[in-house]
């Protein structure tokens, strides 16, 4: 989409959608109260509000290359500030980490050496924060065909970020008091389906219409394989 097309879209938004929902935007101008923090990739093919049909003000969205959340203390100011503000400042009740199929960041992670010269910043980001996922996947699933290996990396990366979230003091506290739940999702671009990690089945399964698994507090990717548990809401 060109800049000209974007400007046309802005004009159409103001003359139609905004006019039809003027009262909603007036209320939004007074403050926000989202209940969900949605963390996903910067990839242009995934739109959190589109796939969830959320309205303005309903999702607090964080995006970066590879939907990566560094562990507490290793996080950049952007990720740590966003999480702290969402959980402590806005009282977020649910955090979703959502990966997606055909993720370029995960493809790059599996071939991270080739990025060093052409995209040094991307290389540094993935090397510093993606190594746990890369090592787990290549050590345990390295014999898979390339497309299956990428899918495994995408899924394991989401679970790794769940573990990293649990290192944040504010999140551990909210999990302990059952004021917060964590969810691992994977969006499949070509089918439009969203899969959620099912601890009991130890795999990602299509989200049911009314209920879906919630990861137990302090669950890890290793413990989820050894001692699976599931809570339905």
Domains located in the chain, CATH noted: 34-220 (3.40.1050.10)
C-alpha Rg value of the chain to the nearest Å: 19
The pLDDT, as a whole number, for residue 210 is: 53
Element (H, E) at 41: strand 36-41
The pLDDT, as a whole number, for residue 151 is: 97
The pLDDT, as a whole number, for residue 136 is: 97
Element (H, E) at 181: strand 181-187
Q: Report the residue count for the chain.
A: 233
The pLDDT, as a whole number, for residue 225 is: 34
Tens-of-pLDDT digits for all 233 residues of the chain? 899 999 999 999 999 999 999 999 999 999 999 999 999 999 999 999 999 999 999 999 999 999 999 999 876 678 999 999 999 999 999 999 999 999 999 999 998 888 888 899 999 999 999 999 999 999 999 999 999 999 999 999 999 999 999 999 999 999 999 999 999 999 999 999 999 999 888 899 998 765 555 565 444 443 333 333 333 32
Find the angle CA(107)-CA(105)-CA(128) to the nearest 5 degrees: 110
The pLDDT, as a whole number, for residue 77 is: 77
* pTM listed for this prediction: 0.88
* CA distances (Å), origin 18, targets 13, 34, 58, 111: 6, 20, 17, 45
The pLDDT, as a whole number, for residue 112 is: 85
Contact of 55 with 81, CB cutoff 8 Å: no
């Amino acid at each position: 989409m060109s800049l000209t097309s974007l400007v046309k879209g802005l004009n159409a938004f103001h003359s139609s959608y905004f006019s039809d929902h003027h009262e909603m935007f007036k209320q939004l101008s007074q403050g926000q109260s989202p209940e969900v923090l949605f963390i996903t990739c910067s990839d242009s093919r995934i739109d959190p509000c589109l796939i969830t049909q959320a309205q303005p003000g309903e999702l607090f969205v964080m995006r970066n290359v590879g939907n990566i959340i560094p562990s507490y203390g290793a996080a950049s100011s952007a990720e740590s500030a966003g999480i702290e503000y969402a959980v402590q400042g806005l009282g977020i009740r649910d955090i979703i980490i959502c990966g997606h199929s055909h993720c370029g960041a995960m493809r790059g992670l599996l071939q991270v050496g080739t990025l060093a010269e052409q995209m040094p910043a991307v290389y540094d980001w993935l090397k510093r924060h993606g190594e746990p996922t890369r090592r787990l996947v290549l050590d345990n699933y390295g014999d898979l065909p390339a497309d299956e290996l990428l899918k495994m990396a995408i899924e394991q990366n989401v679970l790794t970020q769940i573990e990293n979230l649990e290192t944040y003091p504010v999140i551990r506290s909210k999990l302990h008091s059952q004021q917060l739940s964590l969810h691992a999702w994977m969006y499949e671009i070509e089918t439009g389906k969203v899969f959620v990690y099912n601890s009991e089945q130890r795999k990602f399964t299509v989200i049911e219409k009314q209920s879906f698994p919630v990861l137990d507090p302090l669950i890890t990717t290793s413990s989820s394989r050894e001692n699976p548990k599931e809570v339905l809401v």
